[in-house]
Amino acid sequence: NGEEDETGVLQALDFGALAVSLGVVLSAVVTGLYSSYKMEGNKTFRTWTSRLASLSGIGLMVVSAVFSVAGGVSLANFSWTFYVGVSFPCFIGIFLATIVTKSIPKITPPESMSIAIECCYQNTGIALSVAMSMFPNDVEKRTEALAVALLYSAVEAFVIGIYCLVAWKSNWTKAPANENFCVMITNTYEIPEGEDKESSEEDEEDFHDEEENRDTSQAPSSSSSFKGKARVGPVDQDEDEEVASLDLSSSRTLKRLASG
């Protein structure tokens, strides 16, 4: 029976729809990594992509919450074990990830927060597509399968939202805790405000260093030219002495002729 059930599950899967869902996720990851590599030094690109990433994260949580309410599946007809079993991985994942990352000194609070969110957030869109394709004719089983994905979507939207607010007010994020909420949501804090100023100061320091090195390299040539001019003095002095001696000999010759 186990082998028959496994074969039935594999036959029920719509691998085409599953491949499309996985392809969208993988293409987004690859495109993001490639764009980040090629546009590493472009501040404008980094700023807008960070803003879009924040809006996309908020949009995903909103869509998950909306699907859980308007997905055509009632979440009120299950026992308490269903709610605990589906919600438990989200709570325990974010809790344990926070505890573990906080115990590692090299991990900063924003990094710890990011790891914790990644440990509990799941792309339930893939789960929804699988649930729809696995049970196209069995309404009861399809409803139960969809309920798992929809409940987890609602739980993770709630848990991550509260977690982010608490982390923000606890100064775990790069956004100041006293910042206006709307400003905090729309602004990006991945790029420090003084980055351009620091880079311009570094460029200015490099320019001054180059000027100093250039002056230092030119100093020996100036010194040598000065020494060359200094050596002209003795030559001129010898010429003056020769002229003076000639004048003296000429005057003596004239005196001898006059006396003779």
DSSP output for 163-193: HHHHHHHTT-SSS-TTS-HHHHHHS--SS-T
101 or 237, which is more confident:
101
Q: What percent of the chain has pLDDT over 70?
A: 58
Q: Is there a single domain that holds both residue 129 and residue 237?
A: no
> Could you identify the residue written with the tokens 């394709």?
133
Closest Cα to residue 60, out of 139, 117, 134, 130?
Answer: 117
CB 107 within 8 A of CB 115: yes
Domain with 23, as residue range(s), is: 2-191
Closest Cα to residue 144, out of 89, 81, 84, 73?
Answer: 73
- Burial of 171-193, coded b for 16+ CB within 10 Å and e otherwise, reads ebbebeeeeeeeebeeebeeeee
What's the pLDDT at 40?
76
- Tokens representing residue 187 in the block: 């602004």
Q: Is there a single domain that holds both residue 15 and residue 116?
A: yes
What's the pLDDT at 203?
47
What's the pLDDT at 88?
94
Q: Is there a single domain that holds both residue 29 and residue 145?
A: yes
Closest Cα to residue 63, out of 164, 166, 150, 182?
Answer: 150
Q: Choose the final residue of a domain: 191, 222, 246.
A: 191
Q: Is there a single domain that holds both residue 133 and residue 215?
A: no
Residue 85 has pLDDT above 80, yes or no: yes
Least confident stretch, 93-107, 133-147, 185-199 = 185-199
The contacts of residue 59 (CB under 8 Å, 6+ apart) are none
DSSP state of 132: H
What's the pLDDT at 64?
59
Mean pLDDT for 89-102 is 94
What's the pLDDT at 186?
73
Q: Is there a single domain that holds both residue 209 and residue 149?
A: no
- Tokens representing residue 44 in the block: 């404008």
Mean pLDDT for 4-27 is 70
What's the pLDDT at 198?
46
Residue 247 has pLDDT above 90, yes or no: no
Q: Which of 42-56, 188-202, 234-248 has the highest mean pLDDT?
A: 42-56
252 or 195, which is more confident:
252
What's the pLDDT at 225?
44
Q: Is there a single domain that holds both residue 99 and residue 227?
A: no
Q: Is there a single domain that holds both residue 165 and residue 248?
A: no
Q: Is there a single domain that holds both residue 179 and residue 204?
A: no
What's the pLDDT at 87?
92
Q: Is there a single domain that holds both residue 57 and residue 83?
A: yes
Q: Is there a single domain that holds both residue 63 and residue 186?
A: yes
Q: How far apart are the first and last CA of the chain?
A: 155
pTM value > 0.75:
no
Q: Choose the final residue of a domain: 160, 191, 222.
A: 191
What's the pLDDT at 99?
94
What's the pLDDT at 227?
44
Closest Cα to residue 125, out of 61, 77, 78, 69?
Answer: 61
Residue 116 has pLDDT above 70, yes or no: yes
Mean pLDDT for 61-68 is 63
Tens-digit pLDDT profile for residues 191-243:
655 544 444 455 445 545 655 665 565 555 444 444 444 444 554 555 556 55
Q: Choose the final residue of a domain: 191, 224, 251.
A: 191
Domain count, the chain: 2
Q: Is there a single domain that holds both residue 208 and residue 179?
A: no
DSSP state of 237: H
224 C-beta neighbours (distance < 10 Å), count: 10
Q: Is there a single domain that holds both residue 112 and residue 31?
A: yes
Residue 67 has pLDDT above 50, yes or no: yes
